[in-house]
Amino acid sequence: MSSYNAPVRDMQFVLKELAGLDEVAALPGCEEASEDLVDAILEEAGKFASGVLAPLNWTGDQEGAKWQDGEVTTAPGWKDAYQQFIEAGWTALAAEPEFGGQGLPKLVNTAVIEMWKSANMAFSLCPMLTNGAIEALLLRGSDELKAAYLPKMVCGEWTGTMNLTEPQAGSDLAAVRSRAEPQPDGSYKIFGQKIFITYGDHDLTDNIVHLVLARLPDAPEGVKGISLFVVPKFLLNADGSPGSRNDVHCVSIEHKLGIHASPTCVLAFGDNGGAIGHLIGEPNRGLEYMFIMMNEARFAVGMEGVALAERAYQQAVGYARDRVQGTELGVRGGGKVSIIHHPDVRRMLLSMKSQTEAMRALAYVVAAANDKAHRHPDEATRAASQALVDLLIPVVKGWSTENSIEIASTGVQVHGGMGFIEETGAAQHLRDARITTIYEGTTAIQANDLIGRKIARDGGTTVRGLIGEMRDAAGALARGDESLKAIGKALADGVNAVDAAVGYIVENYGSDVKAVHVGAVPFLKLLGIVAGGWQMARAARIASQRLAAGEGDAGFYRAKIVTARFYADHVLPQAAALAHTVTAGSSAALALDEAQF
């Protein structure tokens, strides 16, 4: 079983050369994010990920979280690792200084989060959910709620959860039935059951802060009648410390395909008189507020796709270098060689490597745009950056996670029969990756959001701006050498495919919405592939310039160009086929009667 080593060199390249760390560091409030500080953070985070979290990944998968008599215990080593995690200040990296955070940019935090998720995805889910709850409280909570909860959550002393769905609801949150009854003191009593609550109960901290969707007695039906409440596991004493147990209990934990060490809980609220909660923001706007958490979580789940792809790739490369089997093709009388010498194994490894690097680059660029959307002094720049973030978060989430399953599966294939053996470790990455396309909204939900809210609603204005940027990047390679020209040509063809698909979506969304939605997931994949190719093309051009100038690590830059060329030859050609599916694939998909399936 391979260890994990953070790909710090590639992270530095993406942060500085593609995502524009210098521009982000110039934003108000980001001035401390110098290259030296960021390099130091990456180095220390990499050590923590490989030295503390990664060794627990396999054992946590085997041991799992346990539920007994209503209490949840985490896997051996989890409590100690979490204590080290908060003592090192990792929970506070990007949080607001007002509540004890370090205030670093999302871009920097994104690279660090990738390390946690590669090293130990099940562990990383706990701070991920806490960060989402922090964001919702920060933006919509009252001053009293912020003061009561945020300092403890930012430092990691308390964790947070999202309580959305229920047994009858699934992804249809309009069907939520949990109810909230107003009390004379201004609080509410919460009644209902929530399912699939990540880290809904555990033994890592002395309090858990649940953010819960529920309906008030006079609430309208549907999504417009949902409110959001803070419901702590332990009620707070006058001094802010945890006091008596609230009426919220874990009644079971799910037995899952993967992420065994992450407790996925069924929570019951109000079985003994009502769980005490406090309203966040205004009544009946809970779903709107929850989407603050949701967008944070969707981006973070997209990073899980990147991270698991990286971990699967590292394991596959390690195995391919060590596993000796067969002789080298074209070498007469040669001895046995490691399988990395075999052409198909090299193809598989480059497929994993190129797509992982494309996904990482696109995600970091979106993180940088998020920083600009929140901090840039120019209003127009903030608005344009936010529009780009809104457009691409479904892609980062949906495309990266779908790819992670394929990449982890390829990793199993590289191992051959040994990949099917759990002790090797390759299968765990595939099992863990399988949840990511479902977490925080399935790929179809991401794709429907992409084509409906993000493209059709504004007539394709934002995506066509992105298309223009990608065309410029393709054109910039026309003056390069043969390899750069080939990369530019493949990207240009991919951009044409996106343009054609966007035209179809915008033209037909109002008149034949079902036909357009048949192609929603293929379009998401199309845009992801081409946007990833855009970043790979940019990387190849920058690498070529560095080589020409004699700067930096020549081996690293040459590998960048080769990897981008592989992506252009093996991944970008899928764009034309996907565009055909988007524009011409609806008739058969909608033709059968229900009984014919």
Give catalytic residues, as residue numbers. 440
**What would the two tokens of residue 243 be?**
């006091």
Q: 470: closest CA among 498, 433, 495?
A: 495
CA–CA separation, 203 vs 155, rounded Å? 17
- Is residue 289 within 8 A of residue 281, CB to CB? The reply is yes
CA–CA separation, 246 vs 248, rounded Å? 6
Task: Please give the sequence-ordered ranges of beta strands (E in DSSP) within 9-135, or none if there are none.
Answer: 66-68, 71-73
**What would the two tokens of residue 132 be?**
């989402």
Own/partner contacts of 454-462, CB < 8 Å, gap of 24 or more, are 454/390, 454/391, 454/394, 455/391, 455/502, 455/505, 455/506, 455/509, 456/505, 456/506, 456/509, 456/510, 456/516, 458/387, 459/506, 460/502, 460/503, 460/505, 460/506, 462/387, 462/388, 462/390, 462/391
- Is residue 30 within 8 A of residue 371, CB to CB? The reply is yes
DSSP state of 249: E
CA–CA separation, 248 vs 594, rounded Å? 42
CB atoms within 10 A of CB 519: 26
The three-state DSSP-derived secondary structure of 418-459 is HHHCHHHCHHHHHHHHCCCCCCCCCHHHHHHHHHHHHHHCCC
Q: Which amino acid, 572?
A: L
Q: 229: closest CA among 147, 156, 175, 161?
A: 161
DSSP state of 23: H
Q: 579: closest CA among 504, 472, 485, 469?
A: 504
CB atoms within 10 A of CB 252: 14
Q: Under DSSP, is residue 202 helix (H, G, I), strand (E, B) or coil?
A: coil
Bridge partners of residue 160, in order along the sequence: 209
CB atoms within 10 A of CB 174: 12
CA–CA separation, 86 vs 393, rounded Å? 28
Q: Are strands 208-214 and 159-163 parallel, antiparallel or unpaired?
A: parallel
Q: Round the CA-based radius of gyration of the chain to a whole number and report it.
A: 24
- Matching residue, tokens 């989402």: 132
**What would the two tokens of residue 346 be?**
């090299």
Q: Under DSSP, is residue 214 helix (H, G, I), strand (E, B) or coil?
A: strand
Burial bucket for residue 69 (CB in 10 Å: 0-12, 13-18, 19+): exposed
CA–CA separation, 462 vs 510, rounded Å? 18
CA 272 distance to own-chain centroid: 37
**What would the two tokens of residue 277 be?**
């909660």
- Is residue 361 within 8 A of residue 532, CB to CB? The reply is yes
- Is residue 341 within 8 A of residue 322, CB to CB? The reply is no
Bridge partners of residue 67, in order along the sequence: 72
